[in-house]
Structure 1
Amino acid sequence: MTTTVAQQYKNYIGGEWVEPSGNEVRPDENPADTREILGLFPRSTAEDVNRAVEAAAEAFKTWRRTSGPQRSAILHKAANILEQRAQEIGEALTREEGKTIGEGVGEVLRGVAILRFFAGEPVRPIGEVFSATNPETFLWAERVPLGVVGVITPWNFPVAIPLWKLAPCIAYGNTAVFKPAELTPLTAHLITEVFIEAGLPAGVLNLVHGSGSVVGEAIARHPKVNAITFTGSGTVGRHVYQVASERGAKVQLELGGKNPVIIADDADLDLAVEIVTSGAFRSTGQKCTATSRVIVLEPVLKDFTAKLVERAQSLRVGPGIRPDTYMGPLVSEDQREKVLQYIEIGKQEGAKLLTGGTALSEGEYAYGYYVAPTVFADVEPQMRIAQEEIFGPVVGILRARTLDEAIAIANSVRYGLSASIVTRDIRKAFYFAREIEAGVVHVNSETAGAEPHVPFGGMKESSSFSREQGRAAMEFFTQVKTVYLDMPPAQ
């Protein structure tokens, strides 16, 4: 491999690319081949956050008064630019996060769809007119922006998740301080470029690279940050919520999942295997909506298990940039070690390892963070591998005697993000949809995946009871102002 000098990147504050206040940088490495460094990114300080917040607060004074059609035009232009750069940004995403090139480009195109949806929001109705007791009173309620919003995003969807937060934030008249994950800073830089090229005014979007413990903490504590939207781990999310809500900020959390698929005894097993395989192993299982539990009715347990193991063993693992790769590496060494630790926990708990369970480190895998697709059987509901989020290519098979027992097992975790059932029986499908404790429910499709124009979010510890995407985003990114206008006396 040819060695090149890595480019050093900057923060974007107040309409300019600026040097951070400190000198510390972090290399952005390719998890498929760690010899490739994609760039050097700032490990910014609280001083950088303060500059960004001040810039956002100043820009809010005028951005909040920008007309809906003007905001709409900028978002439409951003969507067009992102579409034109889809291959370039998709490849960058694949190189720094690890998912396959098909998934990388697909995620960028999903971002295009998100931008186009929210480009329509500024020209849709934002209020209601009411009848007042006094016939001379004109009474209305309208939705108005919150102000400066802190946008803290994870590494697993470094284009889609920032855009489904930034697009409504901007569309409804707010300004943003954007802190992306340290593992995926390049895609955040490219997204910011798209907004700049689209003509977003200075200060409306500010990008600050750095760690969660420094940059994220400073955003959560800053008195001029009126709201925070966060996607990430439950531990960090609860800390952000506590810190920000204590000072009265509005907080939105999207956290983890332990998502089940129920295989009914009338299921098409070939379809079921493909649904589970895609849900569990696409993106190397690094999705909050990934399938991690398969609850199988006894009559089809043996046949389904054999088919799933065979399919898992057939998957092509390798660098995501290769077009024939089904599953790429994990995003980092820490993430790989976490997954391998959970595999050991599963074996110690008594689950039966059917395939995978090892790091891949020979030959083409020597410089990447690879783990073989892993399937456990004989998993019991109380086991840690059936209760805790692993965030890797590991799926456990659980046995159930009845549909009610399967649903009870599915509901026996603290999460409630997404869930699926595979069945030919419409009655079972409706019963499942009613009884399952999940914010996103699928029938005959995988647990992962969400349309950009409908609400997204979970129940229980998977969210803070708010929803993202679709018109539901307006509930978080705006507040209601009620106006009583009494007519002056006639002259």
Structure 2
Amino acid sequence: MARVNNIIGGKPHISQSGRTAVLYNPATGEQNGEVGLSSASELDMAVEAAKAALPGWANLPPLKRAAVMFKVKYLIEQNFDRIADAISAEHGKTHDDALGEVQRGLEVVDFACGIPHLLKGEFSRNVGPSIDSFSDRQPLGIVAGITPFNFPAMVPLWMYPMAIACGNCFILKPSEKDPTAVNMIAEFFMEAGLPAGVLNVIHGDKEVVDAILTHKDIKAVSFVGSTPIAEYVYHTGTANNKRVQALGGAKNHMVVMPDADIDKTVDALMGAGYGSAGERCMAISVAVPVGDAIADKLVEALKPRIESLKIGPATDAQADMGPLVTQQHKDKVVGYIDAGEKEGAELVVDGRGLSLQGYENGYFVGGTLFDRVTTDMSIYKEEIFGPVLSVVRADSFETATKMINEHEFGNGTAIFTRDGDAARSFADSIEVGMVGINVPIPVPVAYHSFGGWKRSLFGDHSIYGPEGIRFYTRLKTVTSRWPDGIKEGAIFNFPTM
């Protein structure tokens, strides 16, 4: 049985904690490996390895750090299918979906390849008599990331390529549910020439998380996960004098205006609501048609499409979506469907009780559709993180936008319309961090930045892109004058130019 181990100081490290977590194939429910759950003392080992590597790496010219990124980019490109297979085996998502995940992570590596330009500071000559001023962005030191199960390759790649390119050393604590792809990509970094200790991978659970959040030598923490944990990470990390970016949960709405192209809208909802079995923080989980006429058309068009979804294991090239990640998560999603029915929502398509021949023990839930959901129902208020789409009817554009703005989450949203005025008004007034106009999943490209508003993001910085550079560096401004420009005599008033 395969065992996934830590990577500390550039070498595999078998955890001595005596604790392990079982890895399952979500399609079959069978155990296919285990991962060691590390102790706080093993995190200390990773920190010591990072401390030893930091001076040399931080002082390496950015062009040489970029050279490592270019080699990593090549190695990932040569191993796309291997990485995707590892993701699918432990997460359950289809192979094509896993390939897309790796591609979006690779794009951040692409961006990090430009680090020499991205770290260039600013210079002003003669800000005063013979006085020059320049700014510089310098690495923080040792930083850490805590990442979720739903994107085991992509989300870590949103963090550590940026942090490392900026001159930091990084400690990654990935999800214990699907850790193999993480180690695989970390090994590509070593193969590309990354010095030992610059990137360390520590597998574990809450013990390691708490050790990261309280360790005096870790200067910053990046996190992606649920809102309750994001809030915990933010408050605990900042209480221990760390810089923290903590991305939390979502409840992403798509407003469907009466003039929307119904066929294109349904296509968008199918992919955005049911792709990756809904286990995406940017999944559309609420459709908000404006007016009963468009709502009736939308539900009528969605129903047969959802019923005809091809659901199967990742090894089925024809599958539209695979299983959920664990039995526990499947039970949680089914519980939400039960709750929606009890609360009075109209269950149009029921995904419970799905059983596939040969995969009877898999964690499958079929596509589910609720209509006439109201804003007081749990299936509207809470993040389900499964293949469940709720239709909440709005009587006007103003009602739809008010509904979104009043929700506690503000991660992503979209509007489908042909009306430029409505689209512009929506983009300007909606209190959400990422907005799509006729784009259902508006995940920013790598040279912009990803982040929500309200209780979808704790901290002042979004992730990757220009915000990533700012998060993983600190600004230093130098004002200089040489002796020939210094006049005799002390000046006691506040300095001016």
Same fold (TM over 0.5): yes
The alignment status of 1:268 with 2:266, answered yes or no, reads: no
5+ unaligned residues in a row in structure 2: which ranges? 487-497
Query: Is 1:220 paired with 2:219?
Result: no
Corresponding residue number in structure 1 for 2:334: 340
Q: Equivalent pairs: percent with the same residue?
A: 35
Counterpart residue number, 2:52: 58
Per-residue Cα deviation, 1:282-311 (whole angstroms, up to 9, x for no partner):
010001111111001222111111101111
TM-score under structure 2 length normalisation: 0.95
Q: Secondary structure at the match of 1:20?
A: coil
1:229 and 2:222 are equivalent in the alignment: yes
Deviation at residue 438 of structure 1 after TM alignment: 1.0
The answer on whether the counterparts of 1:420 and 1:442 sit within 8 Å (CA) in structure 2 is yes
Distance 1:376 1:287 in 2: 19
Alignment-derived partner of residue 184 in structure 2: 190
Which residue does 1:248 correspond to in 2? 241
Moved more, 359-368 or 224-233: 359-368
CA contact (8 A) 1:259 1:417 kept: yes
In the alignment, the residues of structure 1 paired with residue 43 and residue 126 of structure 2 have an alpha-carbon distance, to the nearest angstrom, of 45
- Selected match of 1:74 from 65, 68, 78: 68
Is residue 72–residue 123 contact of structure 1 (8 Å, CA) maintained in 2? no
Over 3 Å counting, the alpha-carbon distance change for 1:381 and 1:177 in structure 2 is same
What is the RMSD of the two structures over their aligned residues, measured on CA atoms?
A: 1.5
Pick the aligned partner of 2:90 from 96, 107, 124: 96
> Partner of 2:323 in structure 1?
329
1:418-455 superposed Cα distances (whole Å, 9 cap, x missing partner):
00011111111111111111111001121354322211
Q: Deviation string for 1:306-345 (max 9, x for gaps)?
A: 1011111110011022110001000011111111111111
1:484 maps to: 479
1:105 matches 2:88:
no
Task: State the partner residue of 2:304.
Answer: 310
Q: How does 1:128-143 map to 2 (within 5 A)?
A: 128-131=122-125, 133-143=127-137
Distance 1:125 1:13, change over 3 A: closer
CA shift for structure 1 position 53: 1.0
Cα 1:261–1:420 change in 2 (3 A) is: same
Could you tell me how far apart the structure 1 residues matched to 2:119 and 2:177 are?
A: 39
1:3: which partner in 2? none
1:386 alignment partner, SS class: helix
- TM superposition shift of 1:175: 0.5
Which residue of structure 1 lines up, in the alignment, with residue 9 of structure 2?
14
Q: Is the 8 A contact 1:318 1:364 kept in 2?
A: no
Number of residue-to-residue matches in the alignment: 484
The CA deviation at 1:36 is: 4.8
Letter in 2 for 1:24: R
| Preserved contact between residue 169 and residue 198 of structure 2 (Cα < 8 Å) | yes
Measure how far apart 1:130 and its partner are: 3.0
- Secondary structure at the aligned position of 1:365 is classed as coil
On the 8 A contact 1:72/1:122 being kept in 2, the answer is yes
Q: Would the aligned equivalents of 2:146 and 2:224 in 1 still touch at CA under 8 Å?
A: yes
Task: Tell me, in whole angstroms, the C-alpha distance in 1 between the residues paired with 2:60 and 2:43.
Answer: 25
Q: Does 1:30 align with 2:37?
A: no
Q: Unaligned regions of 5+ residues in structure 1, if any?
A: 1-5
Contact 1:98 1:328 in 2 (8 A): yes
User: Is 1:355 equivalent to 2:355 in the alignment?
Assistant: no
The CA distance in 2 between the partners of 1:409 and 1:131, in whole Å, is: 52
1:208 corresponds to which residue?
202
Spell out, residue by residue over 1:78-121, the C-alpha distance to the aligned partner (whole angstroms, 9 max, x if none). Answer: 01100000011111111111111001112112222221111112
Residue 32 of structure 1 and its aligned partner are, at CA, apart by: 0.9
Q: Distance in 1 between matches of 2:107 and 2:130?
A: 44
- 1:339-379 Cα distance to aligned partner (Å, 9 max, x none): 11111111111101000241323523312101110000110
Alpha carbons of structure 1 residues 103 and 448: separation in structure 2 relative to 1, 3 Å = farther
1:424 aligned to 2:400?
Answer: no
Per-residue deviation, 1:125: 4.4
Deviations 1:371-419 (A, max 9, x none): 1100001101221111111100001001111111111122221000100
2:429 to 435, 441, 444: 435
Per-residue CA deviations over 1:201-230 (Å, capped at 9, x if unaligned) read 01100011111x111111111010000000
Contact 2:443–2:450 (8 Å) recurs in 1? no
Residue number among 447, 450, 460 corresponding to 2:444 in the alignment: 450
Tell me what 2:399 maps to: 405
